[in-house]
Structure 1
Amino acid sequence: MAKKIAVLGSINVDTTYHVQRFPMPGETISAGSKSSAPGGKGANQAVAAARSGAKTWFIGMVGADNEGKFMREALQEDHIDTKLIGIDELHGTGTALITLDAEGQNDIMVYGGANQAMTTEVLKNADAVFEEIDFLISQFETPQAVTAEAFKQAKEHGVTTILNPAPAHEILPELLQYTDVVIPNDSESFVLTGIKITDEDSMLKSAEWFKQQGAKNLLITLGSKGVFYCTPHGHGMVPAFKVKAVDTTAAGDTFIGALASQLDDDLSNVADALVYAQRASSLTVQKMGAMPSIPTGEEVKAALAE
C-alpha cells in the first residue's frame, strides 16, 4: 500500500549558472549557460516521495507572484496536494542561485522570502492531513518554531516525524523532542553535536547524543561512502552506488523523499529502504537540475534490477 507523506518545507525557484570553475574572491567569470527550474529542499523531497509512489501533501508558503503560481503548478503536476500552501502578500516566493562547475559540484545562495516568513498559521487546517499520513518530513529552510509545532501536532495523530537538519545551524531543543528520525550529513551532524564523524564509534556516539535529545533514530549520509544508520533494530552501513555525478543538486532531497516512500512506520526495513533511496539519489546526480532530475519509482526499480 502506498505511503502517505506530508512535507513541511521550502519552495524555491532555482536559477543555475553553468561555469567551468568557481570564481575566486573578487573575480568575474563568464557562465556558459543559465537555466531555471522548480526547487527548494522541501519541494524536492515532496516530488521525490510522490514520484516513488507515495500519496503526498505539501505544507508551505509562496509569494503572491508568478514564481509562486509556477511552483504550485509544478507540484500539482506530480499529483501533490497543495491545499496547505499559503500565499504571503508581503514576501516573494523563495529563490535559489546555484553555481555549477564542470565537475558537477555546486554552491548555492538562497533567498528565503515567503519560506522564512512562515508562521504557525500555515498549520491551521493541517489536522485532517495529519490524521491521514504515515510520515511528516521537514528541513531547516523554514522556521524551526513552525516545524516544532507541526511535529507536535503530528505526533498527537501517531505520525512518524523525519527531520533533515539542513542547512545546519543551532537547533531548537524542543524540536528534537518531537523528532523520530533525524537525517543529517556528516558535516551537519558535527555542527549539531560537536562530534566529528571519523569512524563507526563517532557515529554511534552521535546517535547517542541525538537519542538523549529525543530522536531515537539517526541516519548520517556520507556521500560516496554511503549511509550510516542507527535505530532500536540495530546499526550499520549501506554503501553508495558508484556513478559519475553531473549535478549533485537535490541528491540529498531525493534520498530523503525516496526513503520515506519505502520506509515502514517502525523502521524495521531501514536497510532495504536505504538501498532504494541510495539508488534514487544516484540517478538524480546523473542529470541536470533539481526537480527535473528526480527519478520515478519505475526508474529506480529498473536501475536496482541491473
Structure 2
Amino acid sequence: MVIGSLNMDMVVRTGRIPEAGETLIGQEFALSPGGKGANQAVAAARLGAKVAMIGSVGRDSFGAELLEIMCQEGIDTRHIAKSAARATGVASIIVDGDGENRIIVVPGANTELQAKDMERLEEVIREAEMIVLQLETDLGMCEAAAAIAHRHGVPVILNPAPAQELSSGMLAAVTYLTPNETEAGILSGIAVDSMDSAEAAGQALLAKGVQHVIITLGSKGALIVDAAGSRHVPGFPVQAVDTVAAGDSFNGAMASKLAAGSSLEEAVRFGNAVGALAVGKRGAIPSLPRLAEVERFLEETEAAQ
C-alpha cells in the first residue's frame, strides 16, 4: 500500500542550469506522469507486487491521465480521491546535461489527504503487508498513517523526501527509513560525505527509534545501518541519462522484495539494480523497469564479474 503523491511532471532539458536572472534556450520539454507516491507504486507493480494506492488528484485532465496510468499498471485506485477544490499536483523539473535534476513541486490536490482520512481508512491500512510513505503530502497525514500501521504491526517504509525534520514519534513508527545523503544529514544533524559519516548518521537515526536505516548513495549503492551493524551494498555503475525517480524506483523495488519475503540485503541489492536501470532512461514513470529487464540485468552483471 503506497500512500502519497501523484503529480504531473513538466520536464525541461537544458545544457546547464541558468543563473539567477538568466534566460537560456532549452533543448526539450515533456509532460511526464510522476509524483513520488505514484512512481513508487508503479515501480513495485512493474516488479510483480500487488499494489494499492491512497492519494488525491484534481478533477482535471492531469488527474484523469494519472488515474488511467495507475489502472493500466494494475494498481488498485479505489482510494485515490478526486478533489473538486484543488488541481492535480505538478512538478517543475530542470534536467541538465549531466542528467542531474532540480525539482519544484506544487502539491495541489495532494495536500487534501489529511490525518482524518487515514483514520477512516484504518482497516485498509491494517490489511496491507507493507506501507510505503514519502513527504510530498501533508506531514500530519503521514504521521497518522505511520502510527496506524505501527499499531497493527504493519511494516512502514518511509522515504523522507522532500527532506524535513520529523518528530521522534514519527520516526519510532518507521521500520525502514530510506534517506539519501542530504536527507540523512538533515534528519540526523550529521553531514554525510563519506561512508563513516553515513554510518554515524544511521546510528543517530536508530537512536531516534527507526528500526533499519538504508542510506542511498547514488552509484555507490546503499548503506544499511541497524541493530545488526552496518553493511554496504554496492551499486551498479551506469551512465546516468536522467536521475528523476531514481530514489523512487529504489523504494518501490525494495518494498516489493521485502513484501515477498526477501532479506533486507537482497531487497537493497535489487533496489540498487532497479535504480541503475531507471537512471538510464528519461522521465519518471516511463523510466521504471519491469521485472524481466531487472532479472536480465542482474544475470548479465553476474556473468561479467
TM-score normalised by length of structure 2: 0.93
Q: 1:107 to 1:140 in 2, by over 3 A?
A: same
Provide the residue aligned with 2:250 in structure 1: 255
1:51 CA drift (Å)? 0.7
- Percent identity, aligned pairs only? 39
- Tell me by how many angstroms 1:152 deviates: 1.4
| Match 1:59 to one of 46, 54, 58 | 54
| Counterpart for residue 120 of structure 1 | 115
Matched, 1:181 2:191: no
Q: Which deviates more, 55-64 or 226-235?
A: 226-235
Q: Which has the higher contact order (CA 8 A, sep 6+)?
A: 1
Aligned residues: 300
Aligned residue number for residue 128 of structure 2:
133
Which one of the candidate residues 259, 263, 269 is aligned to 1:275? 269
Give the Cα–Cα distance (whole angstroms) in 1 for the partners of residues 62 and 194 of structure 2: 44
**Alignment partner for residue 292 of structure 1, among 276, 281, 286?**
286
1:304 to 284, 298, 305: 298
Aligned counterparts of 1:82 and 1:162: Cα–Cα separation in 2: 20
- 1:107-126 Cα offsets, whole Å, 9 max, x none, are 11111111123212432552
Secondary structure, in 3 states, of the residue corresponding to 2:48? coil
1:165, CA displacement in angstroms?
A: 0.7
Once structures 1 and 2 are overlaid, which stretch shifts more, 151-160 or 204-213?
204-213
Q: How far does the alpha carbon of each residue in 1:146-191 deviate from its partner, in whole angstroms, 9 at most, with x for none?
A: 0111111112322100111111112133211211111101111111
Structure 1 residue 264 displacement after superposition: 5.5
Of 75, 78, 83 in structure 2, the residue corresponding to residue 83 of structure 1 is 78
Alpha-carbon deviations, 1:195-251, whole Å to 9, x = none? 122444433332232222211110001112210001234421011111101111000
**1:49 to 2:44 alignment:** yes
How far apart are the structure 1 equivalents of 2:18 and 2:2? 35
1:206-285 matched pairs, under 5 angstroms: 206-263=201-258, 269-285=263-279
Give the whole-Å Cα distance in 2 for the aligned partners of 1:238 and 1:256. Answer: 15
Q: Does 2:137 align with 1:142? A: yes
- Root-mean-square deviation over aligned CA pairs: 1.6
1:248-286 deviations in whole A, cap 9, x for unaligned? 1000000000011112688x7111111111111111111
CA contact (8 A) 2:199 2:223 kept: no
| AA partner of residue 292 (structure 2) | E
Gap change, CA 1:298 and 1:265, over 3 Å in 2: closer
Q: Deviations over 1:52-83 (max 9, x none)?
A: 11110111111121211111111111111111
* Counterpart residue number, 2:152: 157
Task: Say whether 1:103 aligns with 2:98.
Answer: yes
